[in-house]
């Protein structure tokens, strides 16, 4: 499936931390940059996400704030 989301960043999962309903997944996208995603535990299980997996961080352009200075 191709997506309208402008930002699809490939990387490798470095960490999956599950809480009671919500999990945090950290993806190394290269160049020393890590993206943290907060997703449902259900998604972690359904996709079988674990450290070492190749994965994408998908971010809609309207969810990006620009900072300066």
Radius of gyration (C-alpha) of the chain in whole angstroms: 13
Please, are residues 35 and 26 in contact by the beta-carbon 8 Å criterion?
yes
Residue 20 tokens read as 């009671």
Residue 13 beta carbon to a copy of itself: minimum distance, rounded to whole angstroms: 8
Residue 3 beta carbon to a copy of itself: minimum distance, rounded to whole angstroms: 5
Residue 27 tokens read as 């993806």
Residue 51 beta carbon to a copy of itself: minimum distance, rounded to whole angstroms: 13
Instruction: Name the residues that contact a copy of itself, by CB under 8 A.
Output: 1-9, 17-25, 27, 29-31, 33, 35-40, 42-44, 46-49, 53-69
């Amino acid at each position: 499936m191709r997506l309208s989301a402008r930002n699809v960043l490939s990387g490798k999962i470095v960490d999956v931390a599950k809480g009671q309903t919500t999990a945090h997944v950290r993806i190394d996208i290269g160049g020393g940059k890590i993206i943290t995603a907060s997703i449902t535990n259900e998604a972690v299980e359904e996709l079988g996400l674990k450290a070492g997996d190749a994965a994408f961080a998908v971010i809609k352009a309207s969810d990006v704030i620009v900072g300066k200075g």
